[in-house]
């Protein structure tokens, strides 16, 4: 009986691998690196399943802020790597709204994330802080929206100063307003799984 049990356990261990991966064998999520040579960091637990996804804008968002959001998506769409479309249905994957909080330094936030067991985003929210953004130029606000859509693709913030020339640099001193080649490389990695 013990011999039979050991044989069954051996067969199970051979048939079923001991490791579990959220991505196809031979194609793991490569997180990248916050170094200037790599210049992107993929969130392997919260990224898009493919290159096409959608979002909706809360009805309370002004036309001006809707324009920032639309431009943010368009800037990523212009890369040809992703297709981010605006939807009017409540079943959209993403949700964008504005809020007012003068007591924070956050210009915008990406959050309320739900992902499946493969690390693919199911739902997410971009929150734009009017308390800060109302004081910025249109160009800066479009840059902020574009940066936030980078998170919706699956890119994390970069914090190394050597990446201040990348869109996904975390601080407002970033010099890129649209996805750079390194940001695009990250988007390719984030959406290929």
CATH number at residue 138: 3.40.390.10
**Per-residue pLDDT, 22:** 44
Does a structural domain hold residue 178? yes
Calculate helix-pair angle for 63-77, 138-153, nearest 10 degrees: 50
Read off the pLDDT of residues 32-63 as tens digits, 9 standing for 90 and up: 999 999 999 999 999 999 999 999 999 999 99
pTM of the shown model: 0.86
Q: Does residue 10 lie in a domain region?
A: no
Residue 72 predicted with pLDDT over 50: yes
Structural domain count, the chain: 1
The shares of helix, strand and coil residues in the chain, as percent rounded to the nearest 5, are 35, 20, 45
The domain of 77 spans 28-191
18 inside domain: no
* pLDDT of amino acid 3: 59
Lowest mean pLDDT of 10-19, 66-75, 78-87, name the range: 10-19
Q: Does 193 have pLDDT greater than 70? A: yes
127 occurs within a structural domain: yes
Query: Which tens digits make up the pLDDT trace of 155-165?
Result: 999 999 999 99
- 26 Rama sector, left if φ>0, alpha if ψ -120 to 50, beta otherwise: left
- Tally of helices (H runs) and strands (E runs) in the chain: 5, 7
């Amino acid at each position: 009986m013990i011999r039979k049990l050991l044989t069954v356990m051996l067969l199970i261990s051979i048939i079923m691998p001991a490791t579990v991966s959220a991505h196809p064998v031979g194609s793991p999520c490569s997180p990248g690196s916050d170094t200037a040579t790599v210049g992107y960091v993929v969130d392997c637990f919260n990224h898009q399943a493919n290159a096409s996804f959608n979002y909706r804008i809360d009805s309370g968002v002004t036309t001006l802020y809707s324009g920032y959001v639309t431009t943010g998506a368009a800037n990523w769409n212009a890369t040809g790597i992703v297709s981010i479309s605006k939807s009017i249905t409540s079943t959209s994957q993403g949700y964008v709204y504005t809020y007012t909080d003068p007591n924070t330094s956050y210009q915008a936030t990406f959050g309320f994330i739900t992902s499946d067991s493969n690390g693919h985003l199911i739902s997410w929210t971009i929150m734009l802080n009017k308390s800060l953004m109302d004081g910025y130029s249109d160009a800066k606000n479009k840059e902020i929206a574009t940066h936030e859509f980078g998170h919706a693709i699956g890119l994390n913030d970069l914090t190394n100063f050597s990446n201040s020339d990348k869109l996904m640099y975390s601080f407002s001193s970033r010099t890129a307003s649209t996805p750079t080649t390194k940001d695009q490389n990250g988007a390719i990695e984030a959406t290929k799984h």
